[in-house]
Amino acid sequence: MWIQTGNRLGIRPEKWDNKDFENYKRFSRAVGWYDDQVGVNETGSSSGFVSYEGLLSRIKKDPLLSPRGSLPKNLAHDYSVSNQGVLFSDCDLLAAQEWKDDKPDTIALVVPQPSDDLSSEKNIDYTRLRDLLAARNWKDADYETYLVMLKVVGRKEGDWIRDEELLNFPCTDLRTIDNLWVKYSNGRFGFSVQKKIYLEIGGVPDGKRDEEAWEKFGDHVGWRMNGSWINYRQVTFDTISLVGHLPIPGIDVGYSHIIRIVGSSYVVRSGFSSLASRLVKCNL
């Protein structure tokens, strides 16, 4: 029954996540039980663990937008998981009982293919991006995406891409970048995936700033939590994250390097609309 929620909730997703992460804190963060900001707000402490009520309030909005494995919250329906270190052992045992006879719910590692189309109108070499994505090195692939997009428009590392450059970004290069992300993430990541979500929540790809659409979009792809934008340290470089979470076109990553790809925290709202506009025109 739980698995029918799009294979996002239930014991089996928890089992996969538990095996993937090395400790309870990382496991809890991955399945939505731990949040540095929300935990402090709800409990008044720095525990970072979300109460059961807080977890339910999130999931009630849309279970398909919750992190995989959020429910059921094993054996702890009446108090915060912060006091339940033993539950990790329970969950681990629960997973181990079936592990030998049941394949874990994982995304298969895709081997780089010589047939990958790495075409570029600007003679950009996309081999490194392809290899990073094939290795599921999402963080380095995200940064490599930033670097190759800068090269396409003739800019250097540390700079950012202007709206007019996004509106005229070569379709061939945009398609190459997007196809690689979509292929090696099994359809979870990529600019076209993000564009689809942006349009579904009411965003208009006209290159204009739309605060409401931008915030809704941020909520849907996991760039906003509890009404606040996350910083780069909170980005989840894993396929357990929400669909469309990567690549990161613009998130506050500190005073020395605030934004990537689409500019400052102010213009990023119009920048993504410009990127979405180009994706539409390029039939992506």
- At 250, give phi and psi (nearest 5°): 180, 105
- In this structure, which amino acid lies at residue 86? V
Query: pLDDT band at residue 71, thresholds of 50, 70 and 90?
Result: low
Q: Which residues contact 18 (CB under 8 A, 6 or more apart)?
A: 27, 88, 91, 92, 95
Residues 275-284 pLDDT 10s: 999 999 999 9
**How big is the chain, counted in residues?**
284
More confident site: 68 or 166:
166
Runs of H (alpha helix) within the chain? 11-20, 24-30, 36-43, 52-61, 85-99, 127-134, 138-152, 163-167, 171-184, 191-200, 211-221, 268-281
Residue range 114-120: mean pLDDT, rounded: 90
Closest CA to 261 of 253, 269, 271, 252: 271
60: confidence class by pLDDT, cuts 50, 70, 90: low
> Token pair of 26, please?
């990382």
Give the tokens for residue 254. 């500190």
What is the Cα gyration radius of the chain? Answer: 20
**Mean pLDDT to the nearest integer, 144-170:** 90
DSSP 221-252: HTSEETTEE--GGG---STTSPTT--S-SS--
| Mean pLDDT score of the chain | 72
Per-residue pLDDT, 183: 97
The residue among 99 and 175 whose pLDDT is bigger is 175
Q: Residue 244: what pLDDT? A: 95
Q: Kindly state the percentage of the chain with pLDDT values over 90.
A: 35
Under the banding of pLDDT at 50, 70 and 90, the label for residue 107 is very low
Question: Between 52 and 4, where is the model more confident?
Answer: 52
Distance, in Å, from the CA atom of 208 to the CA atom of 117, rounded to the nearest integer, reads 32
Return d(Cα 267, Cα 255) in angstroms, integer: 16
Backbone phi, then psi, for 34, in 5-degree steps? -130, 135
Amino acid 261: pLDDT: 44
Q: What digits encode the pLDDT tens for the residues 189-224? A: 999 999 999 999 999 888 887 888 888 998 999 988
| Range with the largest mean pLDDT of 11-20, 175-184, 262-271 | 175-184
